[in-house]
Structures are given as C-alpha cells and as structure tokens.
Amino acid sequence: MTLLDFARGPALEWAAVIFVVGLFWRIGGLIFLARARPLSRNRRDDLWRGGWRMVWSRFVPNRVFRDRISLQFLAGWVWHVGFFVVLLMFEVHILFFEGLFGLSWPALPNTVILVAAAVTAGLLVMLLIRRATQPVLRAISGFDDYASVVVVLLPLLTGLASYAHLGLAYETMLALHLLSVALLLVWLPFSKLVHVITMLPSRYVMGVKFWRRGVEV
C-alpha cells in the first residue's frame, strides 16, 4: 500500500468515523448540560426573542471593543469565508462530495479558488503571528489556539502545493494533503474548532438565559 492509498483509504475512513463519534460526544454533552432547570421564575416570557437577538447581534463587535478588534474581526470573517469557498466551490472537492453524497453544484473558476486559498492561508499566518506576538493574546492563548490554526492551515498549504506541483512529487503532496484533511477531521470535534457546529446554538441558548433574567442582549 502506497502513502497515497493509505491517505485516501484507511486514513480518511477512520478520520471520518472519529469525526462523527466526536461530534455526537460533544453535542451529547451540551444537551446533557442544557437539561438543568432554572430555579427562578422568568422575568420575560418571549425567550425566543432573546435567543435570536443574541445570535444576530454578535455578528458585529460591540462598539466598546470595535476599534481594538476590528482588524482581527475582519480578518477572521475573510478567512472563514475563504476557507469554505475553497472547500465547497473547488471542482475537485465538489466531485469528492458527489462521490460521497451524490450531490453536485456549480464550481468557481480555479483562479478564484487559488486566490481564495492564498488569501486565507496568508491571513491565518498573520493571525498566528499576531497571537504569538501580542502580549494580551499570548497570555490568553493555549495549545488549542495555536494548534487549531496550524491544523486548518495545513490543508490549504498542501492543497496549493499539490495543485502547483511544488515541493515533493505530486502523488506525495496529494497524500500529504489528504492526511492533513484527515487530521483536521480528527482534531475538529475535540478542539475549539467545534465552534463551527456549536456557535449558533450556544449563542441562542446564552441569549435565552440572559433574556429570562431581564438582561438586554
């Protein structure tokens, strides 16, 4: 078995299993925590309103912090959008998803994908350096914060290298790209990257809890 056969076979298969099991484990833990009943009476009855207000209002930074975090906020939005553009709109990726799920959709031109991947990778490197050099960010950052950026960055770099035939032989670079994807799948449920799944539900729950206590969100 070659490295490429291992990467696109057992590595991705086991990574997918771990990814699904890990998500069920994390979501199950959140559901278990949500079972606790409040002991005080609600100060408001329209709890859904507070939940949705929290969901939508947090897409824009509070004006108290806007000047200090505007760069990081904008860069975060751009790299998230860029990553999902590369993931979902690259023709090769679409063919992969079609083979898995039987679904297909139009792809963007390769030039657009390459620009999106390069910009996304550049922003991730910039944010990683900023986290490591800014005293406040460095003080509140742990291993998960740094590792998560690297784990997201690796598929982009290996994908760009394999597409441009840079570095090692194409088959080897493609295998490394698939292995980096497998690493991302394994890492995601057990790290802060799981926020891509839990962000909106957790915001809604937090908004409901604040709203029932009479706190404006």
The residue ranking higher by pLDDT, 101 or 132, is 132
Q: Which residue has the higher pLDDT, 119 or 65?
A: 119
Closest CA to 215 of 65, 52, 50: 50
Q: Which of 25-29, 65-69, 76-80 has the highest mean pLDDT?
A: 76-80
Please state which of the four CATH numbers 3.30.230.10, 3.40.50.720, 3.30.70.20, 1.20.950.20 is assigned to the domain occupying 3-212. 1.20.950.20
* Contacts for 186 with CB less than 8 Å, ≥ 6 apart: 15, 18, 19, 22
User: Does residue 144 surpass a pLDDT of 80?
Assistant: yes
Condensed to tens digits (0 to 9), the pLDDT of residues 8-22 reads 889 999 999 999 999
Question: Quick one: residue 167, left, alpha or beta (phi over 0 = left, psi -120 to 50 = alpha)?
Answer: left
pLDDT band at 174 (very low <50, low <70, confident <90, very high): very high
If you write DSSP's letter for every residue of the chain in order, what string do you get? --HHHHIIIIIHHHHHHHHHHHHHHHHHHHHHHTTPPPSSPPS-S-HHHHHHHHHHHTTS--TTTHHHHHHHHHHHHHHHHHHHHHHHHSHHHHHHHHHHHS---PPPPHHHHHHHHHHHHHHHHHHHHHHHHSHHHHHH--HHHHHHHHHHHHHHHHHHHHHTT-SS-HHHHHHHHHHHHHHHHHHGGGSGGGHHHHHHHHHHHHHHHHHHTT---
Q: How confident is the model at residue 181 (pLDDT cuts 50, 70, 90)?
A: very high
Q: What is the pLDDT of residue 15?
A: 95
Rounded percentage of the chain residues whose pLDDT exceeds 70: 97
Question: pLDDT value at position 1?
Answer: 81
In the chain, what are the domain boundaries? Answer: 3-212
**Which tokens is 200 given?**
């909106």
If pLDDT is split at 50, 70 and 90, which confidence band does 116 have? Answer: very high
Segment 189-216, tens digit of pLDDT: 999 999 888 888 888 888 888 888 777 7
How far apart are alpha carbons 140 and 158 in whole angstroms?
A: 29
Q: Is the pLDDT of residue 65 over 80?
A: no
